[in-house]
Chain A
Amino acid sequence: MAETYMVKSPLMGTFYRTPSPDEKPFVEHGQQVNASDVVCIIESMKVFTELRAGRPGVVKRILAENEELVMKNQDLMEIEIA
């Protein structure tokens, strides 16, 4: 079985899949990513934090919905490590 890496939220906030309301999502299911690619944004108290893939690979699962309130340490995206 392939090794996977879970991108977790470092803080409580609003999960955004896109850089701004009218743009395309950072990543889609099945997309290849580099470790340093931005995969989503967490907005908390007016501050936007970009989250990166952390490992090179393929986006296997997206576990939160756009504009969902997520908790600290909540699982957001699973990367299948290449």
Chain B
Amino acid sequence: MTSEPARLRLKTWICTSIVVFSNPFGDFFLKRGLPDSVHLSKPLDYIAALFQPLVALGVLLLIIWQLSRMALLSWADLSYVLPVTSIGYVVVALIGKVLLHESITGRRWAGIVLIVAGVALVGGSAPSTVPRKAAPQ
């Protein structure tokens, strides 16, 4: 049987991975599905935009992002979740490089190194600093 901290750490990393990948892909499809010509002025325009396939896919991914993030917050601190999930910015930059053949400038590489260093600092610590109960089953 695995120890409690090891169990929590594994669970945290799995959930963090889902959070980290669903958000940038969600944003990406949202932007792809919303051409510049779309005008969002009336409330109905927003609803109509949701029925465009790529926007809908983006929204689905963002729902998965929200739910996995909420699950993560049920056992981890906000001040832990915020920095650790920001590794998503690195994922965005790498998606841009690999899939869209965008170049990564020296400044962006420097930013990526800082984010990875920050995530490594916080990620190694315990996810929670406040007493927590288990959710009712």
Bind each other: no
Query: Could you tell me which B residues sit within 8 Å of A by CB distance?
Result: none
Query: Could you tell me which A residues sit within 8 Å of B by CB distance?
Result: none
